[in-house]
Amino acid sequence: MKITDVRVVVTNPGRNFVTAVVETDEGISGLGDATLNGRELSVAAYLSEHIAPMLRGRDAFAIEDTWQLMARSSYWRRGPVQTAAQSAIDMALWDIKGKALGVPVYQLLGGRCRTGVMAYTHASGFEISEALDELNGFIEQGYKAVRLQCGVPGLPDVYGVDRDTSVQPGAGFERPYEETWDTSAYLGIAPKLFEAARDAIGFGTHLLHDVHHRLTPAEAGWLGKRLEDFRLFWLEDAVPSENQAAYRIVRQHTTTPLAVGEVFNSLADCELLIREQLIDYVRAAAVHAGGLTGLRKIAAFAEPYLVRTGCHGAADMSPITMSAALHFGVSTHNVGIQERALHPDAANEVFRSTYTFTDGYLDPGEAPGLGIELDEDLAARYEFERSYLPVARLRDGSLTNW
Give the helix ranges, DSSP H, for 74-182. Answer: 80-101, 105-108, 128-140
* Closer residue to ligand GCO (CB): 278 or 317: 317
- The reply to whether 316 sits near Mg ion by the rule CB under 5 A is no
* Closer residue to Mg ion (CB): 84 or 350: 84
Single out the catalytic residue among 46, 106, 120, 159. Answer: 159
Beta bridge partners of 399: 393
Work out what residue 62 binds among ligand GCO, Mg ion, none; the CB cut-off runs from 5 to 8 Å by kind: none
Q: Please give the sequence-ordered ranges of beta strands (E in DSSP) within 181-285, or none if there are none.
A: 206-210, 234-236, 258-260, 281-282
Report the alpha-carbon distance of residue 105 to residue 161 in Å, rounded.
35
The verdict on whether 212 is a catalytic residue reads yes
Q: What are phi and psi of 300, to 5 degrees?
A: -65, -40
Whether the CB-CB separation of 122 and 209 falls below 8 Å is answered with no
Pairing between strand 399-400 and 391-393? Answer: antiparallel
**Footprint on this chain of ligand GCO (rule: CB under 6 A):** 37, 210, 212, 262, 312, 314, 316, 339, 389
The verdict on whether 75 is a catalytic residue reads no
Report the alpha-carbon distance of residue 149 to residue 135 in Å, rounded.
10
Tell me which residue has its CB nearest to Mg ion: 210
- The reply to whether 339 sits near Mg ion by the rule CB under 5 A is no
Closest distance to Mg ion from the beta carbon of 262 (Å) = 5
Work out what residue 103 binds among Mg ion, ligand GCO, none; the CB cut-off runs from 5 to 8 Å by kind: none
Q: What are phi and psi of 214, to 5 degrees?
A: -100, -20
| Contact range with Mg ion by CB under 5 A, out of 257-265, 303-311, 328-336, 360-368 | 257-265
Query: Which residues lie closer than 8 Å to 304 by C-beta, 6 or more apart?
Result: none
Work out what residue 19 binds among Mg ion, ligand GCO, none; the CB cut-off runs from 5 to 8 Å by kind: none
* Closer residue to Mg ion (CB): 9 or 389: 389
Q: What are phi and psi of 155, to 5 degrees?
A: -110, 120
Q: What are phi and psi of 243, to 5 degrees?
A: -100, 90
| Contact range with Mg ion by CB under 5 A, out of 10-18, 47-55, 163-171, 256-264 | 256-264
Query: Of residues 185-244, which lie at the interface with Mg ion (CB under 5 A)?
Result: 210
Closest distance to Mg ion from the beta carbon of 35 (Å) = 16
The rounded Cα 355 to chain-centroid distance in angstroms is: 16
Single out the catalytic residue among 122, 206, 212, 312. Answer: 212
Catalytically active residues are 159, 212
Residues binding Mg ion (CB under 5 A): 210, 262
